[in-house]
Amino acid sequence: MKILPGQTDIYAITDTRLSLGRSVAEVAAALLGAGVRILQYREKKLKAGQMLEECRVLRRLTREAGACFIVNDHVDIALLVGADGVHVGQEDLPVAEVRRLVGPEMLIGLSTHSPEQAQAAAVAGADYIGVGPIFPTQTKEDVVAPVGFSYLDWAAKNSALPFVAIGGIKEHNIGEVARHGARCCALVSELVGAGDIAARVASVRRAMQG
């Protein structure tokens, strides 16, 4: 199901390294059971064959839950499993080329770090953008420097595309992120690393609304 940031509040991203030994399927089932409606598969250290098999499982789980399934970076895997979307970075395949591969129906998200990149994303045909990283983050090895709230403030007022705030967002700071105009926030370690994922999703949602 195609759901854009802003149509739901939490954008969950997988990371098995932080999942307390649980499988990606177990974590995904807990997230979806807690009402998460956008799930992105992002696993940087696995072989393509294993990623494909895991994405097939997550495609089934997200479809059953009526949730949106996004694959990070790997356009080929997104196509093979029939994902709802693919998310790419500034140094990945250009949005226009991704569109040639995936066709008009699949969502394309693009990570952006400045107003100029946001404007270029809209011109290129992205469906939504990531805005960040808001805070320092350790869940990506090739992360750019934090952009803080200045770019988020700009995006909240000026972005032509739906956006998800990302980067170091936790329960203790998500309220501030929301006050700066983020209607949807991406979280990784705060969710997948929780002992009780459903309880953490609920507390994060309360903090975002508070």
Q: What is the DSSP string of 55-121?
A: HHHHHHHHHHHT-EEEEES-HHHHHHHT-SEEEE-TTSS-HHHHHHHH-SSSEEEEEE-SHHHHHHH
DSSP state of 16: G
Q: Which H or E run contains 19?
A: none
Please report the beta strands in 113-206, taking only residues with DSSP state E, as ranges in sequence order: 128-131, 163-165, 185-187
Look at residues 194, 141, 191 and name the one whose alpha carbon lies nearest to residue 40.
191
Is residue 110 a contact partner of residue 87, using CB atoms and an 8 Å limit? Answer: yes
DSSP state of 15: -
Instruction: List the helix and strand counts (H, then E) for the chain.
Output: 9, 8
User: Which residues, in sequence order, are CB contacts of 199 under 8 Å at separation 6+?
Assistant: none
Which residues are the active-site residues? 42, 111, 140
